Structure 1
Amino acid sequence: MSSPRDGDRDGFDDGDGSGWREPPHLGSGGAGEDEADQPNFVDRRKKPRDDQEPLSARSWQPPGWDLPAAEPQRPVPPPAAGPAPDEARPPLDAPPPQGPPQAGPPPEDAGGPQQPAAGAPGWLGGGRGRRRTPGAADHVFAYQGDLVGSQGWALQQGWTVSDGTAPEDAPLAGVIASSPVRATKDHRAGNVLRGRAGPLELVAFDVVYASGRYVVPEYAITAAPLLGSVPGFRLSPSRFWRHRTGGMVPLGTGDPAFDARWLLLAAEDDPRLHRLAQDPAVHGLLLGTDDGDEFWSGAGHVSAVRPDGHRPQLLEHHARLLSAIVAALGAGGN
């Protein structure tokens, strides 16, 4: 039986450690190899292997990890020479484009940032101050009414101006109620202009509603008050959605080009509506527009409406079309 006082066993010594030697199975040599030629275990951890590259010399980043070198100054593209804000909006007397829209590069590829049209929302929400490029919907539905411009035009033509609260403005509520737009109890007449355009007495006003402390114009109506009764009708672009047309029947015009873009609905069989359906002057004027207006009769008026605010160009446009429609009906104005 052995004890701790026994001599050296398997290379271990219970003395002061001077007799320590590496066990044979950990050495690199054989049993006959000299102890000085066998490196210590601690020494092997401090010294790298001959075939191993130091960590500082190896690349540990994956491909594409390093960021590119920062340029001192990036080139700024010159601003694109775009059309004026008034030229960006198509004229009222221009036919709509035929066929599907052609795909093209985004506005940013045109050589620089595009400026928004007048009246279109220019700042993107969120507090970052980024300017958003307006699209087609912004140009169609953006408010283009200029109260100062329309009132200035009316005063130059000798028309009168009202804010919609005068006693003579009370019948305009019936015109709004009979209109093809979805008006609510909050809508009322505002910016009322009255005057003569050719053979007609016209009243033009904005259908407005209150939004907080502001009055927002949503529709522009131009109406011609007529003497006597007028048959009920609705003349709308074929692409428009129509409501409250119960009891009305389509009335053909005999012109395929006109019937493809416009639809005449009659509430009764009246010879005046047949004359309106076959009038070449009305066909020519409506085919030369952008199909953005609706016409109807109600509350003793023949009226036109467009989702916009009144401006001089729209006033002249409505006056020209209403003169042709009233002349085709053979109705007398006030």
Structure 2
Amino acid sequence: MSTPRDRNGSDDDDAGRGWQEPPHLGGDEPTRDEPAQDGPAQEDPNFADRRKQPRDSDPSVDPATWRPAGWDLPDAEPQRPAREPSAAESSAAEPSGIDPGWAPPQQDQVQQAPPQEAPVRRGLFGGRRQRDPEMERAFTYEGDVVGAQGWALQRGWTISDGTAPEDAALQELIASAPVRLTKDHRPGSVLRGRAGTLDLVAFDAVYTSGRHVVPEYAITAAPLLGAPPALRLSPARLWKHGVGGMVQIPSDDPDFDRRWTLLAVEDGPQVRRLVADPEVRRLLLGTDDGDEFWTTGGFLAAIRPDGHRPQLIEHHTRLLTALVAALAAGF
């Protein structure tokens, strides 16, 4: 019977001097799967040596010498049968029967087509009358060379900044204007002078925005004799406010009534004279319907959304001269 103290039948001592490694693990003799080599064992080359192996210099994978299949073939040329020129091409190549003395006709011998007249443009409500060239010039931007103040000084007008004592009455024109002006608007760049038969005052309705004064509307007013009726003459396309209690005064011209509307507190011969005057209708129909007119405080005034410039002052002067003359004829 054996015990844990037994050495399994081995008579070796504790140092293990009698133990030997099996032959197939010692490396001294080849195994059955590996053939024997006569010379010393060949070691595998390292990474630097593997780069020099012949497989890395294979010309089939060398990027410097590799070419795709068919790269060195000669250029292909299509083999097409020769086409004989047709009779028309032969005659065009060799013209015959042309007079060598022929020359192109002179410029004066060429028959010019008669110029065609420009078509007459008609608006939605029919044809319009031809516009006045002076009106076209007033609304054509030509640049403000000398400015409205320079224009006024050349004609002997006076200039103020809107804070003079005589400028206090202009605030009523701003408050009663047919456009929506606020309490922040005030008169600025006030010009006073005489134009023709009228004593005019032209100024800008300005407001302050930060450090800048912005002109928003140009107003030109002329004083009237007597007590003019409260009226408003505006383009029909513009929206109107503050017209409560006013009645529309028609005219005998359908074209004028389609483009302009006259409103008055009461109907009478004086306001009817205004729309019946042929000069007034001619001037108003020749504009771009951008001005509005109204009476207040003994003035007849014109307003337009723009800053004053010399052309606009002259434009308002022509319109106010005709309107004042028509109203004065009614007294």
TM-score bracket relative to the smaller structure: 0.5 to 0.7
AA matched with 1:294 = E
Distance in 2 of aligned mates of 1:281 and 1:222: 20
1:1-334 aligned at under 5 Å gives the runs: 98=123, 149-330=147-328
Q: Could you list the runs of 5+ residues in structure 2 that have no partner in the other structure?
A: 1-30, 35-67, 69-120, 126-138
User: Distance between the aligned counterparts of 1:261 and 1:242, measured in 2?
Assistant: 14
Separation (CA, whole Å) in 2 of partners of 1:160 and 1:244: 33
Three-state SS of the structure 2 residue aligned to 1:319 is helix
Question: How far apart are 1:267 and its partner, in Å?
Answer: 1.0
In 1, are the aligned partners of 2:247 and 2:267 still within 8 Å (CA)? no
Letter of the structure 2 residue corresponding to residue 150 of structure 1: A
Q: Which amino acid aligns with 2:228?
A: V
Aligned-partner Cα distance in 2 for 1:210–1:148:
24
Distance 1:145 1:215, change over 3 A: farther
Q: Cα distance, 1:147 vs. partner? A: 9.7
1:208–1:18: structure 2 CA closer, same or farther, 3 Å change rule?
A: farther
> Are the equivalent residues in 1 in contact too, given 2:189–2:204 (CA < 8 A)?
yes
SS at match of 1:274: helix
Equivalent residue, structure 1, for 2:63 = none
Contact residue 220 and residue 309 of structure 1 kept, 8 A: yes
> Given that residues 144 and 311 in structure 1 are in contact (C-alpha distance below 8 angstroms), is that contact kept between their aligned partners in structure 2?
no
Q: 1:227 Cα shift?
A: 2.9
Please report how far the alpha carbon of residue 181 of structure 1 lies from its aligned counterpart in structure 2 after TM superposition. Answer: 1.2
State, as a whole percentage, how many aligned pairs show the same letter: 66
Q: Which amino acid aligns with 2:201?
A: V
Alpha-carbon contact 2:231-2:262 (below 8 Å) kept: yes
Distance 1:144 1:226, change over 3 A: farther
Q: What CA distance in whole angstroms lies between the structure 2 residues aligned with 1:206 and 1:298?
A: 17
Structure 1 residue ranges without an equivalent (≥5):
1-15, 20-56, 58-95, 101-139
CA distance in 1, matches of 2:180, 2:32: 104
Alignment partners' CA distance in 2, 1:314 and 1:98:
26
Residue type of the partner of 2:180? R
Shift of 1:18: 5.8
Q: Which amino acid aligns with 2:302?
A: A
Kindly provide the CA deviation profile for residues 251-303 of structure 1, in whole angstroms up to 9, marking residues without a partner as x: 10110111111011111122110100211110000001111000010121100
Distance 1:160 1:278, change over 3 A: same
Instruction: After superposing the two structures, state which structure 1 stretch, 175-184 or 206-215, moved more.
Output: 175-184
Structure 2: distance between partners of 1:313 and 1:301? 22
Superposition deviation, residue 150 in structure 1: 0.3
Please state whether the residue corresponding to 1:313 is helix, strand or coil.
helix
- If the length of structure 1 is used for normalisation, what is the TM-score? 0.56
Aligned-residue offset at 1:98:
3.5
Report the Cα distance in structure 2 between the residues aligned to 1:168 and 1:219, rounded to whole angstroms.
Answer: 20
Are the equivalent residues in 2 in contact too, given 1:296–1:303 (CA < 8 A)?
yes
Instruction: Using the TM superposition, give the Cα deviation of residue 148 of structure 1 relative to its aligned residue in structure 2, in angstroms.
Output: 5.1
RMSD: 2.7
Aligned pair in 2 of structure 1 residues 97, 165: CA closer, same or farther (>3 Å)?
farther
TM-score by length of 2: 0.57
1:19-50, Cα deviation, whole Å (9 max, x unpaired): 9xxxxxxxxxxxxxxxxxxxxxxxxxxxxxxx
CA shift, 1:17, in A, is 11
How many equivalent pairs are there? Answer: 201
How far apart, CA to CA, are the structure 2 residues paired with 1:17 and 1:203?
Answer: 127
Q: Which has the larger radius of gyration?
A: 2
Cα distance between partner residues in 1 of 2:142 and 2:297: 28
* Aligned CA distance change for structure 1 residues 18 and 206 (closer, same or farther; 3 Å): farther
